[in-house]
Amino acid sequence: MKPIISPSILSADFGNLARDIDMLNRSEADWLHIDIMDGVFVPNISFGFPVLKHVAKLAEKPLDVHLMIVQPEKFIAEVKALGTEIMNVHYETCPHLHRVVQQIREAGMKPAVTINPATPVILLKDIVREVDMVLVMGVNPGFGGQKFIENTVEKVRELRELITQTGSKALIEVDGGVNLETGARLMKAGADALVAGNAVFSAPSPEEMIHALKNL
């Protein structure tokens, strides 16, 4: 099965964002990955809802929204208002994760949960059947263009086993350090979806890079 490709607009040219989104609309990308950062949970701030409203108007692909923030449940209505398909929250920021997952689903979005590089897969055992997707971070969140953490491949393998054992239908997505080389290994380990930012937007032809990733 071909991977789902979700280019991250965090790596786009913000001076020419409409141009880059138009390119993604034309490309073989499946989703549009949006990273919202608060400068608290992660040491960076990305963009807020006024910018994202314009992104949502221009985008023709489903929105894959990743909230790297504390108390993401406060913004469920705002994320839904963008027309979001998948709302992704961090395990590490949700002490009442089951409730947040329910609230996301009740709002009409697909709930997803993200784990940081140091968070063990086994901690998802009691929630993995309740979510539509698990996002495994291949770098520590906060910045694009970081070096891939090698243990991510093993974590994807572990997660695939957990999903099989529990009868979960969750997809596995990987974000951080994804390129043609790491992407091929992640797909072999059991990933379904790849988030690529730097690999796409720093390529001579982003559309050709998306095509190459799509055909891993």
Q: Which residues are catalytic?
A: 35, 175
**Contact in structure between 32 and 6 (CB atoms under 8 Å):** yes
> Where are the strands (E) in 38-179, listed by range?
63-68, 86-90, 110-115, 133-137, 171-175
Reading phi first (left if > 0) and then psi (alpha if -120 to 50, else beta), residue 5 is in beta
Closest to 31 measured CA to CA, from 156, 188, 192: 192
What are the CA-CA distances from residue 113 to residues 62, 80, 211 (Å)?
17, 16, 27
Residue where the block lists tokens 């108007």 = 57
Q: Which residues of 184-202 are buried (b: 16+ CB within 10 A; e: fewer)?
A: eebbebbbbbbbbbbbbbe
**C-alpha to C-alpha distance for 75 and 77, rounded to whole angstroms:** 6
What are the φ/ψ torsions at residue 56 (nearest 5 degrees)?
A: -65, -35
- For residue 14, the tally of other CB atoms under 10 A from its CB is 11
